[in-house]
Amino acid sequence: PSKAQVYFDSMEYLGSGAFGHVYKARHTLLERYYAVKVVCREEKSLREVGTLSELLHCNIVRYYTFWMEDSGQVIQSIFSSFSSRTSNNSSAKYLYIQMELCDTKTLKEWIEEKNTQSLQDSKRREEGLSIAQQIVSGVEYIHSKKHIHRDLKPENILFGLNGEVKIGDFGLVTRDDDDDDALMERTGQRGTTTYMAPEQKREKNYDRKVDIFPLGLIYFELLWKLSTVHERGAVWDDARSQKLPEEFSLTFPQENQIIESMLHEKPEDRPEASKLKAEMEMCAQTLNKQNTHQEDET
Ligand code: ATP
Ligand code: MG
Ligand code: MG
């Protein structure tokens, strides 16, 4: 039997990305649930493990261990497409990564859910800020360990089972001082570039500030209701060029200023995560004051 079969008594399919499949797995002896990500083993996937094993922070998906297997066929039907992709590679090995189990609802679904709700309410503003603050804390930590995430987008941001924000999917992470053609190639392959910093799309050399740009877009999306695909399309390109809707800047002046600074075309003009953390904390205090005022008045 495989290691997965020995240690886990159930494997239930959770989701897939471009590079791997993720399962909810129950550890037989510990009687606890984990997320197990199975990826076709390449040198690149080993980096994901290498990175994760160095990171321990409350806003980053916790990593426990990894192992290798000959088969990636946890569930036959799901893996048929996966193994055909690698069938010309006879010595294909699979990497199993055991991680903390998170909610199946990612930040992408959180945003979609908010956008179907009728009102642009103050609760969304507070929650949005809290989520942005937690992502920034995680990113500050990643940068302090000299890593760059490089793939920050709502679907890669998860929630822990207690609702805390957990940055996940470290498949594209690199060392801050690393320049590697293979990794650039992998970036180039990727379909979604909508959150990606402009210099990450066109240049080979970029730095940790590529993580600040997508965070600016995410923070905007957390606060601002974009109901239709059409509306999103119309607003998105402008936002990427630092032009946020006028109504947004009037409704959220302080947030608008922070987000604009994150969306600077030149990476060196974007703030460090540590500075953002301080600015968002000030923003939170202002919101708090406003709320207590309103409560006093009523
Ligand atoms: P990508 O194409 O984004 O690089 P990927 O193959 O690297 O994808 P992930 O993004 O890590 O895979 O995971 C794919 C999906 O599996 C996620 O969108 C999420 O729904 C689910 N998932 C990943 N990690 C976990 C986890 N720790 N707990 C619960 N679900 C998870
Ligand atoms: Mg992903
Ligand atoms: Mg990935």
Print pLDDT tens along the chain (298 aa).
788 888 998 889 998 877 788 999 999 999 999 999 998 877 677 777 888 899 999 999 999 999 988 877 765 444 444 444 444 444 558 889 999 999 999 999 999 999 998 766 788 999 999 999 999 999 999 999 999 999 999 999 999 999 999 999 887 666 555 544 444 444 443 434 489 999 998 888 889 999 999 999 999 999 999 988 888 888 999 999 999 999 999 999 999 999 999 999 999 999 999 999 999 999 999 998 988 887 777 6
Q: Which long-range contacts (CB under 8 A, 24 or more apart) does 27-36 make?
A: 33/101, 34/8, 34/64, 34/98, 34/99, 34/100, 34/101, 35/61, 35/98, 35/99, 35/100, 35/101, 35/102, 36/4, 36/8, 36/11, 36/96, 36/97, 36/98, 36/99
Residue 154's pLDDT is 95
Query: Could you tell me the pTM of the whole model?
Result: 0.88
Tell me if residue 187 falls in helix, strand or coil. helix
Q: Which residue in the list 9, 103, 151, 238 is annotated as catalytic? A: 151
Name the closest-CA residue to atom 16, ligand 1: 15
Cα 23 to Cα 284: distance, rounded to the nearest angstrom: 37
Please list every protein residue whose CB sits less than 6 Å from any atom of ligand 1.
Answer: 14-20, 22, 35, 37, 61, 99-102, 104, 106, 155-156, 158, 168-169, 171
Residue 171's pLDDT is 74
Residue 296: active-site member: no
Please give the number of the atom of ligand 1 that sits closest to the Cα of 100: 27
Residue 83's pLDDT is 47
Strand pairing of 63-69 and 94-100?
antiparallel
Query: What residues contact 281, with CB distance under 8 A and at least 6 apart?
Result: 133
Residue 186's pLDDT is 45
Site to probe by mutation for ligand 1, drawn from 158, 192, 193 as the one with most ligand atoms within 8 Å of Cβ, is 158
Residue 75's pLDDT is 55
Residue 25 alpha carbon to ligand 2 centre in Å? 19
Residue 91's pLDDT is 54
Residue 236's pLDDT is 93
